[in-house]
Amino acid sequence: MALPVRRGNEAEAANPISEFDRLTQQLSQLFDQQWPSAGGPEGFTPLADVEETDDAYLLEIELPGVKKKDIEIDIEGRRVVISGERPAQRRTGWLRRQARSWGRFRYEIVLGTDIDEDGVEATLQDGVLQVRVPKSAAGRRRRISVK
């Protein structure tokens, strides 16, 4: 009996979490394409990367076409909620295909450690929102040297 052959990036294929994330993203895109108005009051969830360093969490959220005034960032405890609205473009011709999302959006994440709410910084550049969320002193990783 022949075994199936794996093709592509072996490291990515061996990681079940990245495979699950890829499938979830594909299903979400398929659902949005088939029923674009079914997003509810929250609309769509923008694509995002979350990176953790020793002293902070770095969030990068793709928001092309969104102005600074249309973005809200709320923090409560360890929960960060980024919401707003991407306005629909005015069309003069027949829209033959729509693959981009518009309307209300919401991205929510609960971070792993306590954060310093006063030190949060956000910038919007080239359609990418970058949010730096510093960890509180209690949540920071410390390295202890052995004497």
Task: Give the CB-side neighbour count of residue 21, counting CA atoms within 13 A.
Answer: 9
Q: So what's the architecture of 43-88+101-141 in CATH? A: Sandwich (2.60)
Give the start-to-end residue ranges of the domains of the chain.
10-40, 43-88+101-141
Q: Each residue's pLDDT tens digit in the chain (147 positions)?
A: 565 555 555 554 567 777 877 787 788 777 766 665 544 445 788 999 999 998 999 999 999 989 999 999 999 988 999 999 988 888 888 877 777 788 899 999 999 888 999 999 999 999 999 999 999 877 666 777 798
pTM of the entire predicted model: 0.65
